[in-house]
Amino acid sequence: MNEPLLIVLTVLLVIGVAIATVFIVRRQRWKGRVRELGWTFESSPSLAPVLPLANPPFDLGFDRRTDELITGRTASGRPFAVFDYSYGGTGERRLALVKLPMPLPELYLTASGPRAGVTEPPIDLGPGVPFQVLGADPGYARAVVTPGLVQAVDRLGRPPGAEPQPIDLSVDGDNLVSSGAPKDPDELRGYLDRLDAVAATFDPAALAPYRIVPKPPRLGFHGTDWTLVGTDNSLIDRFQGLRPFGQGHGWSTSNVIVGTARGTVPLVAFVYHWKTTHTRTVSDGKGGTRTERYTRSHQQPIMALNLPVHTPSLTIASDGAFSGLFGSGSIDFESSAFNDLFDVTSDHPKFAHDVVHPRMMEFLIWAKPPQLIMTRGMLITYPGVHDPTAVSRLADLMTSFLGRIPEFVWDDLGAAPPVPAPPAGPDAAADPMLR
């Protein structure tokens, strides 16, 4: 190695060590200041701080992460938590939580636009409120957004000696959540004092009529009773023998969601993974050949609703991929338009004709569902993607399908209908699929 290059490498190494040393020293001073303030710090916390939280940015997406958790009490003694949070590949945001006197419905106060995932409508509280309020109940919003709160929120967004900060607050159970907490411990102390002053304006007596039952601590999905389980490989045995279960090797599940459709029909949705290994013969470059083995990874979203009773097997497929799965051939119906779009097979043709009646055919032609399979006491489908929006849409579709099965079919099976029949005529918009 020549001498000039060695000098350059040595200089770069020294600079790198110096930068790392500065970073470490600053990090230790930062942690020391956090301890001096009487707070507790965790560099790699679990998801425990977000389990009781139900509203955006919480209970969204699959890959949820917390980082850099600080916990303690404000100057007035109110418990707080501050941490970085991200979900589904979104960027991290620094969030601060302080406790409220009771669990309350969701409400958002923002001067920077609604957070992703917020579906609550805006509420007009008059010209004296310089930020947007989003919620479902104007009376509750007025009980929260008092003149005292407006003043406290204004002070929160105007830290002494610093640039104004955008307001992004929410009520999440018994937590007041604020996005944009500073990292510096001393700046954070002032920020928490101002956030504590906002929380102090929540009047327990005025808000008592709006008290709610708090969410059980769990990883859920906003606006549903679903729980994110993560992995549950016991599901593989439950579906074994159905395509694509049993193929290849290395079977596993991910992003398992359990809950209900329409609050009554048990639901499970997940991604199924498997691998296949193949061999191929290639040239060895010397006039001969050699055998190579290679492995491919596969995945398929799966979704199923539990039925109240085991039914005869029935498949409704739009592309022929599942034709013959439970019967010797496709069953023809009186609608040529339906026959052109769907292959229906069953081990009990009468059951198929009872289920797929003329109004059901009209619904299926309109809804164009993916494959629907009734077997083993389940209604199963194969979504194109696995995400909460797709699961919600398919849950509505599948329950609408079940609601259109005539009541006499359930009576013959010895069970009550799992969902009510959809209304007809002017009330048809009550069907989730027709909204």
Considering the domain boundaries, does residue 389 fall inside one? yes
Considering the domain boundaries, does residue 86 fall inside one? yes
> Do 188 and 299 have their domain in common?
no
Q: What is the pLDDT of residue 307?
A: 97
Please state the separation of Cα 181 from the chain's center in Å: 24
Instruction: Give the lowest-confidence range in 111-120, 153-162, 323-332, 355-364.
Output: 323-332
Q: What would the DSSP string read from start to end of 130-150? A: -SEEE-S-HHHHHHHS-HHHH
Cis amide leading into 57 (omega within 30)? yes
Considering the domain boundaries, does residue 218 fall inside one? no
Contact 103, 70 (CB under 8 A): no
Split into its structural domains, the chain has a count of 3
> Do 127 and 182 have their domain in common?
yes
Instruction: Give the lowest-confidence range in 50-59, 112-121, 295-304, 354-363.
Output: 112-121
> Do 167 and 47 have their domain in common?
yes
> Do 122 and 180 have their domain in common?
yes
Considering the domain boundaries, does residue 217 fall inside one? no
> Do 20 and 49 have their domain in common?
no
> Do 91 and 55 have their domain in common?
yes
Res 383 pLDDT > 90 = yes
- Angstrom distances, CA of residue 99 to CA of 125, 336, 432: 25, 62, 37
pTM: predicted TM-score of the whole model, two decimal places = 0.83
> Do 31 and 46 have their domain in common?
no
Contact 262, 233 (CB under 8 A): no
Considering the domain boundaries, does residue 9 fall inside one? yes
Res 1 pLDDT > 70 = no
Q: What would the DSSP string read from start to end of 346-415? A: ES-HHHHHHHS-HHHHHHHHHH--S-EEEETTEEEE--SS-SHHHHHHHHHHHHHHHHTS-HHHHHHHT-
Q: What is the largest CA-CA distance in the chain?
A: 92
Q: What is the pLDDT of residue 415?
A: 95
Considering the domain boundaries, does residue 222 fall inside one? no
> Do 298 and 256 have their domain in common?
yes
Average pLDDT on 217-242 reads 94
> How far apart are alpha carbons 203 and 193 in whole angstroms?
18
> Do 30 and 41 have their domain in common?
no
> Do 50 and 173 have their domain in common?
yes
Contact 58, 71 (CB under 8 A): no
Res 319 pLDDT > 80 = no
pLDDT for 79-100, tens place per residue? 999 999 999 878 889 999 999 9
> How far apart are alpha carbons 265 and 21 in whole angstroms?
58
Average pLDDT on 52-79 reads 95
Q: What is the pLDDT of residue 292?
A: 79
Contact 146, 129 (CB under 8 A): no
| Structural domain span for residue 28 | 1-35
> Do 163 and 264 have their domain in common?
no
DSSP bridge pairs for 73: 79
DSSP 8-state secondary structure symbol assigned to residue 174: E
Retrieve residue 305's tokens: 């609703």
Contact 204, 143 (CB under 8 A): no
> Do 188 and 68 have their domain in common?
yes
Considering the domain boundaries, does residue 216 fall inside one? no
- Residue ending a domain, among 210, 238, 262, is 210
DSSP 8-state secondary structure symbol assigned to residue 220: B
> How far apart are alpha carbons 189 and 191 in whole angstroms?
5
Average pLDDT on 362-381 reads 94
- Residue ending a domain, among 210, 237, 267, is 210
Res 429 pLDDT > 60 = no
Is residue 223 helix, strand or coil?
Answer: coil
Question: Predicted confidence band at 421 (pLDDT cuts at 50, 70, 90)?
Answer: confident
Q: What is the pLDDT of residue 21?
A: 63
> How far apart are alpha carbons 409 and 42 in whole angstroms?
58
- Residue ending a domain, among 210, 237, 258, is 210
* Average pLDDT over all residues of the chain: 89
Please report, rounded to a whole number, the percentage of residues in the chain having pLDDT higher than 70. 89
**What DSSP element (H or E) covers 176?**
strand 168-179
Average pLDDT on 168-184 reads 96
Q: What is the pLDDT of residue 430?
A: 47
Q: What is the pLDDT of residue 102?
A: 97
Considering the domain boundaries, does residue 387 fall inside one? yes
